[in-house]
Amino acid sequence: MSLCFWIFLGVSSVLLFPVAVVIWAVTAPFDRRRVLLHRFTCFWASLYTWLNPAWPVQVIGREKIRPGVAYVMVANHQSLLDILVLFRLFRHFKWVSKIENFRVPFIGWNMSLNRYIKLRRGDRASIAQMMRACEQELASGSSIMMFPEGTRSVDGRLRPFKPGAFALAQRMGAPLLPIVLEGTGNALPKRGFVLQGRHAIRIRVLDEISYEAVAAAELDELVEVVRDRFALELGEKSLPQAAG
């Protein structure tokens, strides 16, 4: 099953990337935020869960994402599948993703066409550039999708949250939108490419945190409160927040 999945992913990427290029070329002059291309990318990514009976995906709370609102979206990070699964929201956003992902043939090239946001981990100049790009996209009306843990969890439990997404929301006066992922870590754990049998996957969009509440909180307090909310939703005992 794993071999079939990765072959299908590779072949479909070769076939669908030219479609993405055509959409980009036709819409770029009038669709500066790449809304239509992102919607096609949602379809492309969703194929891998729609056509895989081992990964039934349930989306809860999509209606909480208000049209026309530019959010800082934050999700927990368990697996490579998280990126594919979050496209099932079919809502417009710009990813913040490590720069290595943009080098993946076809898939990474499509990420560049979508103008998703690159980040070189541990590079202060890259982090500053990433934050500026996020601010520009938020100002233009696009939501930003970030994993505040920074990297995937090894055992499925929440890692400490880094403050970048929360500082961004405070600076830009943007509401925060927490999104809880469950089941992806069991389906495809970190440090492995072998699918782990049938696992139900859930995406739960929680109630947004208004920009008034975001602005009123101290940064450290905001990070801790949001992480505690994730821990509660995931049935974990909240642990002290380590410095990010």
Does 13 map to a domain? yes
Q: Tell me, what amino acid is at 173? A: G
Is it the case that residue 241 has pLDDT exceeding 80? no
What pLDDT does 211 receive?
93
| Backbone dihedral angles phi then psi of residue 146, each to the nearest 5 degrees | -135, 150
What pLDDT does 202 receive?
95
**Which pLDDT band, with edges at 50, 70 and 90, does 3 fall under?**
confident
What pLDDT does 194 receive?
64
User: How many Å apart are CA 117 and CA 134, to the nearest integer?
Assistant: 7
Read off the CATH number of the domain in which 125 is found: 3.40.1130
What is the pTM (predicted TM-score) of this model?
Answer: 0.91
E-strand stretches of 109-175: 117-119, 143-146
| pLDDT, tens digit, 9 for 90 and up, residues 43-77 | 999 999 998 888 899 999 999 999 999 999 999 99
Query: How many structural domains are present in the chain?
Result: 1
| pLDDT, tens digit, 9 for 90 and up, residues 189-221 | 766 666 666 789 999 999 999 999 999 999 999
- Per DSSP bridges, beta strands 201-205 and 93-98 are unpaired
| pLDDT, tens digit, 9 for 90 and up, residues 12-37 | 999 999 999 999 999 999 999 999 99
Count Cβ atoms within 10 A of the Cβ of residue 36 and give its class: 0-12 exposed, 13-18 middle, 19 or more buried: middle
Does 242 map to a domain? no
| Mean pLDDT value of segment 116-135 | 93
What pLDDT does 79 receive?
87
Count Cβ atoms within 10 A of the Cβ of residue 124 and give its class: 0-12 exposed, 13-18 middle, 19 or more buried: exposed
Nearest to 153 by CA among 204, 49, 227: 227
**Which residues share a beta bridge with 93?**
143
Does 238 map to a domain? no
Indicate the SS3 state at residue 100: helix
Does 67 map to a domain? yes
Does 241 map to a domain? no
Distances from the Cα of 32 to the Cα of 2, 37, 83, 113, 185, angstroms: 37, 10, 23, 11, 35
Does 239 map to a domain? no
Count Cβ atoms within 10 A of the Cβ of residue 201 and give its class: 0-12 exposed, 13-18 middle, 19 or more buried: buried
Q: Any idea of the CA torsion for 240, 153, 101, 1, to the nearest 10 degrees?
A: -160
Tell me which residue range forms the domain holding 226: 2-233
Does 243 map to a domain? no
